[in-house]
Chain A
Amino acid sequence: MEEEKKLLLFLSMYDLTINKLDQIYSVLGEDRSLKAFFKSKEIEKLFAKDKFEQLRQLYDENRISNYQKNLQNQDIHIITRFDSTFPSQLKNLPDSPYFLFCKGDLTLLSCPSLAIVGTRKPSNYGRVVTDKFAKALAKEGIVIVSGLAYGIDSIAHRKCLEVGGKTIAVLGSGLNEIYPKEHMALASEIASQGLLISEYSPNRKATSYTFPQRNRIIAGLSGGVLITEASIKSGTIHTKDFALDYGRNIYAVPGNIDSPSSELTNETIKSGQAMCVTSPSDILKDYAVMKKKEHKTEQAIQLSMDELKIVSLLQDGMKDIDYLAKNSNLSINIFNSYLTTLEIRGIISRLPGGYVVKN
């Protein structure tokens, strides 16, 4: 076992593809050790000639222990298929990763989890829906898994952290090469309050094919996949397909039939691949967690007449500010100040484009 771990550690330094690793494993058979690795003629054939020679020369015991120390200094844990912490749901996948680089709370890997994925360019509807589901599910203790991308991914992470929930971000790049750069701060927040994982070595940059690969881990790691909003061209389709292959539950939030950004969700619902969900409790049923009663009434009592007027105008969905200002019959200065106080108390949210929505 010890020998095998060493072998995997050694291989993890070189960013080999899953295919290559599979080949190496099938050649080695039962004798999985570094010794066997360097001895085998067949393995030598798997690599370009000088590449294998290089590997042989680079190898020594100190190098592996230095590598381990180095990772430790960066607070990066590397877990291999043979560690007890390696998530069992991943182990059984046909294309399971051989090792994972992790930063943060490793215990999250064994908690009930749900992936929330979707378009990188959400509409206001997508924002509202993601916000609602991420918050509600995180509050119930479900770990939210997503990919740290723009749009739905980052909203899911953020909203989850906002309510003190736990979240896992699966990266399509090394842990030190956060992509997109704008989410650097978010990533470090997740590292301290949740977990960042990646199958790529820490300094590996993201490339176009690493993201679909990353999606398989998102799908494999999670108990289910929720698509809140995605168009037919979205990369989310990969996550969905992986989830289907792995037999994960897929949930999708329906959207307007004429909205291009809800094409994929509507399509998966229509084809029966996904379960149509309209509230977080639809998902919670599958997770066997009982939804606790919320104490919303408390808030309602505290609202003044004027505030109530604004909130009641929002009862049937998103409205733009001018409409609200006009129909609440409040003078604009009073209206603006109520808007802020309502927002601070978390009763409403403001969205891009000057829209307001009730939470």
Chain B
Amino acid sequence: MLAKVKSFGLQGIDGFPIDVEVDVSNGLPHFEIVGLADTAIKEAKERVRSAIKNSAYDYPIKRVTINLAPADIKKEGSLYDLAIAVGMLSTNDENGIKNQGDYVYIGELSFDGSVKKVKGLLPLLISARSLGYKNFIIPFENSKEASFIEGICVYPVKSLDETVKFLKGEQNIEKIEHCSYEDIKNQKVSGLDFCHVKGQAMAKRALEIAAAGGHNLLMIGPPGSGKSMLAKCFPTILPDMTFEEALEVTKIHSIAGELDLNEGIVSRRPFRSPHHTATIIALTGGGTHSKPGEISLADHGVLFLDEFPEYSKQTIETLRQPLEDGVITVARNKATITYPASFTLIASMNPCPCGNYGSKDRECRCSPSQITKYLSRISGPIMDRIDIHIEVDSVTYDQLKSVEEEESSEKIKERVNKARQRQIERFKNDKNYNNANMSVTQVKRYCKLDDKSEDLLRGAFESLKLSARAHDRILKVARTIADLEQSENIELSHIAEAISYRTLDRKYWE
């Protein structure tokens, strides 16, 4: 007896259809899975057998062969269990399963016959929908995740028994109701808010600009100056994610198994802060069981690298491609996978190894060559991709205790959202969607200066000794400042403010 059911596999962040073919024939009892299956799939044999037995169905004492087609693509994971079990049961007419071919099955089985959650459901469903598949049977625990996709019928099941009864028509399962993204996107409260950060007016303003234009930012300051606190608050002022962005982020988080199944979708911009001992693969993704890395998990969100120079030089250099292209391509021996990775980089560092360089009240113990060495760990090409650098100084006790009302994240976010809206308008025919990603020609087109501003910029280069690479960065940041003020043209004050965010270009690190 032969049965064929559908399932889906995952490659990178996209799904591809898999035919699960079950052949049960006479012969010595035997169970074999073919089709480049990994160990997790091979072990399905035990799970499927126990699940079928413990759900009070007959396990065929025959020769069972399963083929996962296409047979030449490597398959991973435990999400084919349900498809294999349904396939096996439908080879036996006594079970009375009909229409088993109408559905796509995704789910892992437990020995007692219950269906357990799987990783990466959302990307599978999205790919399946675009290929025209309509009906799905998925684990109940994953229902929330599936509810955000429109135009498909998804039936959540809790056990194998329930699935069989549903297929026989004995039991009705309510399909998952579509849940609108708009309803949930504004509900989130993270507890962090800029109104809790006292003082640091300069840093806050710089972060606001970074959020509005998608600029990468570097904070330099002594230990305990609140760099990490500022960075953690940063996501609260980032513009809301669009549904498409949220789906992309959710896909990645789903594959990495980092999705909160109660929420089902990532509606807040992610904030990732890998430790500086993180390996390159932990950042970029890949590995034997290809998984997206930290920079992909930070997609459309923030990648915060605390103590930036402490990361190994190689690790920092690998950030070049993603910072430029918004994707990371990982080549492994089995496949080359591209994960999205368009994040805003927020980095922080001390001004010198001991951290007290330039401090008024504490003495720096580092030699000049140590300081130069420390700063030079961050190469020019990486510096080139960071638009804003600011100095953050420690907050005084008085500032800490001041009762003055600080501006809340919500208010800042409002301005940021408006500025982003202008950028979306501006770049609607282009590939990029924010000022930071402007190409050289776009900078020429959108960042025109009047004569007065041009003079100021020239003056700045001469008197402040800015390096040449600062030029375009300043223009981009000035564009964002103009956007924040809803101004069509870049004014003198905008360019002047932009110049003040180029600390590291100054020559005073001597």
A residues with a Cβ closer than 8 A to B are: 120-121, 124, 127, 150-151, 154-155, 158, 180, 182, 260-261, 318, 320-322, 325-326, 332-334, 336-341, 343-344, 346, 350-355
**B490 CB to closest chain A CB, in angstroms?**
12
CB-CB contacts of B484-498 with A at 8 A, as 1s and 0s? 110000001110110
Return the CB mask of B193-229 against A: 1 if under 8 Å, else 0. 0000001111011000000000000000110000000
Q: Which of A336, A338, A344 sits near B459, CB closer than 8 Å?
A: A344
Residue from the list A182, A336, A341 in contact with B456, Cβ < 8 A: A341
In the complex, identify which listed stretch (B176-184, B287-295, B364-372) lies at the interface while the others stay far away. B364-372
Contacts of A354 in B (CB 8 A): 202, 221, 358, 391-393
A87 to nearest B CB, angstroms? 28
Most chain A beta-carbon neighbours within 10 Å: one of B367, B368, B494, B509 = B368
A333–B464 CB distance below 8 A: no
Q: CB < 8 Å: which of B202, B357, B507 contacts A353?
A: B357
The minimal Cβ–Cβ distance linking B67 to chain A, given in whole angstroms, is 65
B201 touches A352 (CB 8 A): no
- Nearest first, the 6 A-B pairs at minimum CB distance are A353-B358, A352-B358, A337-B496, A150-B368, A354-B391, A337-B497
B279 interface residue (CB < 8 Å to A): no
Identify which of B202, B364, B459, B496 contacts A332 (C-beta below 8 A): B202
Cα separation A353 to B508 with both chains bound (whole Å): 11
Given contact pairs A322-B199, A341-B456, A350-B506, A336 touches B358 in the complex (Cβ within 8 A): no
Complex CA–CA separation, A191 to B364 (angstroms): 32
Would you call B358 and A351 a contact (CB within 8 A)?
A: yes
- Assembly CA distance A261 to B359 (angstroms): 13
Count how many pairs of residues, one from A and one from B, have CB atoms less than 8 Å apart in the complex.
107
Check B399 for interface membership: any CB of A closer than 8 A: yes
B428 at the A/B interface (Cβ < 8 Å)? Answer: no
Set B357, B367, B464, B509: member contacting A343, Cβ < 8 A: B464
Determine whether the beta carbon of A322 is less than 8 Å from that of B360. no
Contacts of A124 in B (CB 8 A): 358, 360
Residues of the B chain whose Cβ atoms lie less than 8 Å from the Cβ of A150: 368-369, 510
Does A343 contact B463, Cβ atoms closer than 8 Å? yes
Residue pair A322, B351 in contact (C-beta under 8 Å): no
B interface residues (Cβ-Cβ under 8 A, vs A): 199-202, 204-205, 221-222, 351, 357-360, 363-364, 367-369, 372, 391-393, 395, 399, 456, 459-460, 463-464, 481, 484-485, 492-494, 496-497, 499-501, 506-510
Whole-angstrom distance between the alpha carbons of A350 and B460 in the complex?
A: 13
* A-B pairs with beta carbons under 8 Å apart, 28 shown: A121-B364, A121-B367, A121-B368, A124-B360, A150-B369, A155-B510, A320-B360, A321-B391, A321-B393, A322-B200, A322-B201, A322-B393, A333-B205, A333-B484, A336-B202, A336-B496, A336-B500, A340-B499, A341-B496, A344-B460, A350-B508, A352-B391, A353-B351, A353-B357, A353-B393, A354-B392, A355-B358, A355-B360
Residues of chain B within 8 A (CB-CB) of A346 are: 463
- Residues of chain A within 8 A (CB-CB) of B368 are 120-121, 150-151, 180
User: Least Cβ distance of B500 to chain A in Å?
Assistant: 4
- By a CB distance below 8 angstroms, the chain B residues around A339 are 500
CB distance from A285 to the nearest CB of B (A): 31
Q: Give the docked Cα–Cα distance between A241 and B360 (Å).
A: 30
A340 to B497, Cβ gap below 8 A?
A: yes
Contacts of B493 in A (CB 8 A): 333-334, 337
Q: Which residues of A contact B456 (CB under 8 A)?
A: 341, 344
Interface centre among A155, A321, A340 (most CB of B within 10 A): A340
Contact check, A352 vs B357: say whether CB atoms are below 8 A apart: yes
Contact A322 B357 (CB under 8 A): no
- A332-B204 in contact (CB<8A): yes
| B351–A337 touching, CB < 8 Å | no
Beta-carbon nearest neighbor of B222 in chain A? A353
Chain A nearest CB from B405 CB (Å) reads 13
**How far, in Å, is B292 (CB) from chain A's closest CB?**
37
User: Please, which residues of chain B bring their CB within 8 A of the CB of A151?
Assistant: 368, 510
Give min CB distance, A90 to chain B, whole Å.
29
Q: Which residues of A contact B357 (CB under 8 A)?
A: 352-353
Chain B residue with Cβ nearest A342 = B496
Contacts of A337 in B (CB 8 A): 492-494, 496-497, 500
Bound CA span A298–B181, Å: 61
Q: Given A150-B510, A321-B202, A332-B202, are A340 and B364 also a contact pair (CB < 8 Å)? A: no
Alpha-carbon gap, A355 to B221, bound state (A): 12
**Which chain A residues border B395 with CB–CB below 8 Å?**
322
Assembly CA distance A340 to B503 (angstroms): 12
- Smallest CB-CB separation from B491: which chain A residue? A337
Given contacts A154-B510, A354-B391, A344 and B463 within 8 Å (CB-CB)? yes
List 13 extra interface pairs beyond A322-B202, A340-B460, CB under 8 A: A124-B360, A180-B368, A321-B393, A325-B201, A333-B205, A337-B492, A340-B499, A340-B500, A344-B456, A344-B463, A352-B351, A353-B351, A354-B358
Enumerate chain A residues within 8 angstroms of B463, measured Cβ to Cβ.
343-344, 346
Distance of A333 Cα from B486 Cα, bound (Å): 14
Collect the chain A residues with CB atoms within 8 Å of residue B369's CB.
Answer: 150, 180
Q: Are A332 and B392 in contact (CB under 8 A)?
A: no
B376: nearest chain-A partner, CB-CB: A182
A340 touches B360 (CB 8 A): no
B156 to chain A, nearest CB (A): 51
Bound together, the chains give a CA A256 to CA B159 distance in angstroms of 79
How far is A180 from B494 in the complex, measured between Cα atoms in Å?
A: 38
B448 → chain A, closest Cβ, in Å?
18
Closest-by-CB residue of A relative to B203 is A322
Closest B residue by C-beta to A352? B358
Closest chain B residue to A186 by CB distance?
B510
Q: Which residue of B lies closest to A341 (CB)?
A: B496
Shortest CB-to-CB span from B71 to chain A, Å, is: 61
Please, how many angstroms separate the alpha-carbon atoms of A142 and B508 in the complex?
Answer: 24
Chain A residues with CB under 8 Å of B204's CB are 332
Bound complex: CA A326 to CA B202 (Å):
10
Most chain B beta carbons < 10 A, residue from A154, A260, A332? A332
Asked if A351 and B508 make an inter-chain contact with CB atoms under 8 angstroms apart, the answer reads yes
Residue of B nearest to A326 (CB): B201
Kindly list chain A residues whose C-beta atoms are within 8 Å of the C-beta of B464.
Answer: 343-344
Cα A333 to Cα B496 in complex, Å, equals 10
Tell me, in angstroms, the Cα distance from A136 to B457 when the chains sit together.
27
Q: Least Cβ distance of B507 to chain A in Å? A: 8
Distance in Å from the Cβ of A146 to the closest Cβ of chain B?
13
Contacts of A182 in B (CB 8 A): 372, 510
Shortest CB-to-CB span from A245 to chain B, Å, is: 29
**Which residues of B sit under 8 angstroms from A336, Cβ to Cβ?**
202, 205, 496-497, 500-501
Docked CA distance A182–B372 (Å): 9
